[in-house]
Amino acid sequence: MASRKASTLFLFRDSSGIEPRADAYQKQNSEDLDTNIYEQVAKPTFIACPEDIWAPRIEDDNGNAVEEMHVKTQFELYVEGFKRSTVNILDHGVILCVVCVGTFWALFAEDVAHGWPLAKTVDTQIAIVNFCFLIFFVAEQFARSVVQRKDYLFNFFWWMELAANASMILMLGPIMFPEGQYKCAAAIGLSNLDGLTAGSRLARVMRLLRVLRVLRVFNSLHNSCKHRSRVANEKAAKQSAIGKALNEKLVRSMIVVVVALQLIFPLLSFDEKNSARELTLDVLIMGENFSKSEGELYGAAMRGQYLFGGQHKLDLESMTYARNYPTLMKTVISSEALVYIDDQPASTFQGWDGNSYNAADCLSPDADDSFAACPPWIHELRCSELEYFYTEKGVHEAYWEVREQQMAYAQLNIAITIFLMVIILGMYISLSADVTFMVVQPIEGMVGLVRTLAENPNYKLEGQAKCKYETEAVRVALAKIIGLMQLGFGSAGHEIISANLANSDQATLNLMVRGKKMDCVYGFCDIRQFTDTVECLQDQVMLFTNSVGEIVHQSCHDNRGEPNKNIGDAFLIVWRPRSVSDHAKVADGALTAFRRCVREIASSRTLQLVTDVEAIHKKFGRGKYQTKIGFGLHFGWSVEGPVGSPVKVDCSYLSAEVKISDRLEAATKIYSSNILMSGQFYDLLSEHIKVGIRLIDHVTLKNGMKPYRIYADDRSNLWLKMNPRLVRIYGADIAYEQFSKIFHEGMDAFIKGDWPTAQQKLQGARDFCPKDTPTLLLLKEIKKRSIDPSTPTAPVDWKGYHDSDV
């Protein structure tokens, strides 16, 4: 590769429009630069992975392929929007209320119909409503399975919903199996003693699943109310993922425990067998066997006593039987095994309605398994209100009416269901409140804190005195870590803090974010004689440096300044205006802050005590050392962002403009002034702030071509000493005004090239301030560059500024 001559030209390539001056290109010698000034930049060797490469199909052109991708993207967006809308509809308060009403209906409708003397025709109407709610529940579960496939399908709550919906199928009996002519024998025949116990246990579990659906609906309504309150109050923190997960796990654990108790406790309990009906049937059979004739009154009376000991009244030889026990409705012992009536044939029995019925038609073993020929009041009974029983050999069988028992059982079910709901909801609310208060709220608070910091990295955290729980200790530690991070990165690191805290999906830190171009005020300050001071103070130098830094940082912070760099003896402060109209405010604040720094450092009791050591007295002389700091101020553009590598990164401001404030601070040693500022900064100051500031030179910086006006702040100049004689004559204020006026006239003549006038005015200014360094330097420059030794004359190529070593 061809060699290249050294050049001081800096070429910037940036999308923000950072470019060198146009004349800088024109001044370059064509022999120094090749045709392509970037030819030494290596060509990119990036090879895309196959999945990163997209190409249209061969048979289609690019336009068709792009259009196809656009349509596909629109379809995907439509699908996502449809899913969001569906979820919002399913979680709407109206839908949740319908689910709640349907759940309560499924829980209590059947028990209300069976627990009170309602007509049997009500069962069909209730079953129709149950079928409608079942369709609604199935549709809701299917919709959630489609739109919430990842979070809902085949998880624990999906299976619970499926079981709860399946349990409602058992409630559709009046629709699926109409009783018709009351053919209940087959259904009732399945209810032997063991099957009844297992079936009742299964029914309890199915009912429990419907009760637990109330818990899910309650949780959904609770979350919906919280969501509406969050929308109404923007300050409320969003529910975190861990809060949602903990509530779901809590509900899951409660469901598992309650279902397990329902299944296990009956297995551990012992129920004594009720043999009353078996003994009753045995007595009836015995009474029949001991009867000597069909018309024997004794046997008939005994059968009647056992058969009709129920709510219905039967007059038998002036005796009234009314007992609250299950009433035997049908036996197949023989056609005469019921009530004997003295003046009627043996095949005739008396019903509870007072009418006579033929036993052969109603109770004959050869007749159909129905009650078609029985009294009408038997038709009003439900299948569940009949209980079937038979002897061990199957020779004798009987049906018992258990309506009163079923009514009491249904009412008891309602009470148990309400009790379970209260217990489960109470447990859920209590446990959820404890978990939320002790775990979820602290974690959500920390997550909300991170979100707030992602939006406003300069957010100040509130302190906490005591830590009762570990979660509070974690929050305190988080606050300290964030505080240290804010101090470490400073205002320039806000983008890094915001980008990394907002992106929770990325596991590693993303420190190499793109810079941001902005206009700022840059203030650079440096401690004088720092090397000698370090040698004298030794281990006390940290106290000395931090004392100075505290004064500088606090003064600048109070005036909207943002400390950026701490380089031992030097500090970089940045003032970032919010808008163009804010430039004057930040400039006034910057100068005010540095003026305050000069005063407080000169009068700091802490610095006086720290430097009052023998080593300092020996090095500088007793009572002669004084902490002095130089300040430089400039306004210009820079790029704000991270500088460094993943190993170590600093957030700073990069541009040649930032370096000018450093050059101005270094020039304070040359001009013997505490605060120097550029013309760009001076032009932004308010008029009342400009009082006490004077233009002291117009120069180009070292190795630079652009001229800068340099201003000095005499109000904070500890080196400025007025002539005591003139101060006594004019007074301090008037003497300074005369000095400033004469110096300004001399400076103006110097820039215009009228050096004789400039020399005259500057010598007059020297009378007011004999040791004013800017005056002496200008007189020296006139004498040095004058083309006529006898008469001060500006050079022929004088442009109003001169070179300097700044």
Look at the block and give the residue holding tokens 């002496």.
Answer: 776
Given this model, what pLDDT does residue 246 score?
A: 80
Q: Is 195 helix (H, G, I), strand (E, B) or coil?
A: helix
- Distances in Å between the Cα of 353 and the Cα atoms of 336, 356, 374, 378, 575 are 19, 9, 11, 11, 104
Average of pLDDT values for 759-778?
93
pLDDT digits (tens, 9 = 90+) for 74-133: 777 888 888 888 888 888 878 888 888 888 888 888 888 888 888 888 888 999 998 999
Check residues 722 and 376 and name the one with the higher pLDDT. 722
Average of pLDDT values for 325-336?
42
Compute the distance between CA of residue 305 and CA of residue 296 in angstroms, rounded to an integer.
14
> Could you give the angle at the alpha carbon of 492 between the alpha carbons of 488 and 497, nearest 5°?
65
Check residues 365 and 168 and name the one with the higher pLDDT. 168
Given this model, what pLDDT does residue 394 score?
A: 53
A 10 A CB-CB count for 472 gives 15
Helix (H) or strand (E) holding 639: strand 629-644
State residue 496 phi and psi, 5-degree precision.
-65, -45
Compute the distance between CA of residue 613 and CA of residue 538 in angstroms, rounded to an integer.
11
- Distances in Å between the Cα of 7 and the Cα atoms of 25, 32, 143, 803 are 12, 8, 71, 19
Quickly state the pLDDT bin for 466 (edges 50, 70, 90): low
Quick one: which of 294, 296, 312, 314 has its CA closest to 304?
A: 314
Q: What is the largest CA-CA distance in the chain?
A: 171
Contact 787, 752 (CB under 8 A): no
Average of pLDDT values for 433-456?
80
Q: Is 630 helix (H, G, I), strand (E, B) or coil?
A: strand
Given this model, what pLDDT does residue 397 score?
A: 63
Given this model, what pLDDT does residue 340 score?
A: 38
On average, the pLDDT of the chain sits at 74
Given this model, what pLDDT does residue 775 score?
A: 94
Beta bridge partners of 802: 699
Phi-psi region of 46 (alpha: psi -120 to 50; beta: other; left: phi over 0): beta
Compute the distance between CA of residue 460 and CA of residue 474 in angstroms, rounded to an integer.
17
Specify the DSSP class assigned to residue 385.
Answer: G
Quickly state the pLDDT bin for 666 (edges 50, 70, 90): very high
Buried b / exposed e along 499-525 (16+ C-beta atoms within 10 A):
bbbeeeeeeeeebeeebeeeebbbbbb
Percent of the residues in the chain that have a pLDDT greater than 70, as a whole number: 65
Q: Is 19 helix (H, G, I), strand (E, B) or coil?
A: coil
Check residues 484 and 306 and name the one with the higher pLDDT. 484
Quickly state the pLDDT bin for 154 (edges 50, 70, 90): confident
pLDDT digits (tens, 9 = 90+) for 282-329: 766 665 555 544 444 444 444 444 443 333 333 333 333 333 444 444
pLDDT at 504 over 70: no
Given this model, what pLDDT does residue 759 score?
A: 94
Average of pLDDT values for 640-659?
84
Given this model, what pLDDT does residue 324 score?
A: 41
Compute the distance between CA of residue 801 and CA of residue 804 in angstroms, rounded to an integer.
9
pLDDT digits (tens, 9 = 90+) for 167-184: 888 888 788 776 543 445
pLDDT at 279 over 90: no
pTM: 0.57
Specify the DSSP class assigned to residue 789.
Answer: S
First-last CA distance in the chain: 37
Contact 515, 639 (CB under 8 A): yes
DSSP states of 478-501:
HHHHHHHHHHHH-GGGHHHHHHHH
Compute the distance between CA of residue 149 and CA of residue 674 in angstroms, rounded to an integer.
70
Task: Spell out the residues 6+ positions from residue 107 whose beta carbon is closer than 8 angstroms to its own.
Answer: 207, 210, 211, 214, 417
Quick one: which of 632, 623, 620 has its CA closest to 657?
A: 632
Quick one: which of 274, 114, 110, 262 has its CA closest to 201?
A: 262
Q: Would you list the domain boundaries of the chain?
A: 83-178+189-268, 276-401, 690-806
Quick one: which of 760, 738, 734, 736 has its CA closest to 747?
A: 760
Q: Specify the fold of 83-178+189-268.
A: Four Helix Bundle (Hemerythrin (Met), subunit A) (1.20.120)
Give the residue ranges of DSSP H helices in 30-121: 62-90, 93-115
Quickly state the pLDDT bin for 395 (edges 50, 70, 90): low
Length of the chain: 806
pLDDT digits (tens, 9 = 90+) for 604-630: 999 999 999 999 999 998 888 999 999
pLDDT at 512 over 70: no
Between 100-109, 150-159, 447-456, 532-541, the lowest mean confidence (pLDDT) is in 447-456
Range list of β-strands (E), 701-791? 707-713
pLDDT digits (tens, 9 = 90+) for 301-310: 444 444 433 3
Given this model, what pLDDT does residue 331 score?
A: 44
Between 234-243, 411-420, 486-495, 725-734, the lowest mean confidence (pLDDT) is in 234-243
Compute the distance between CA of residue 701 and CA of residue 679 in angstroms, rounded to an integer.
13
Average of pLDDT values for 456-469?
69
Handedness of CA 24, 30, 32, 37 (dihedral sign): positive
Quickly state the pLDDT bin for 47 (edges 50, 70, 90): very low
Beta bridge partners of 715: none
Residue 137 tokens, joined: 């529940």
Q: Is 610 helix (H, G, I), strand (E, B) or coil?
A: helix
Between 107-121, 213-227, 508-522, 752-766, the lowest mean confidence (pLDDT) is in 213-227
pLDDT at 705 over 70: yes
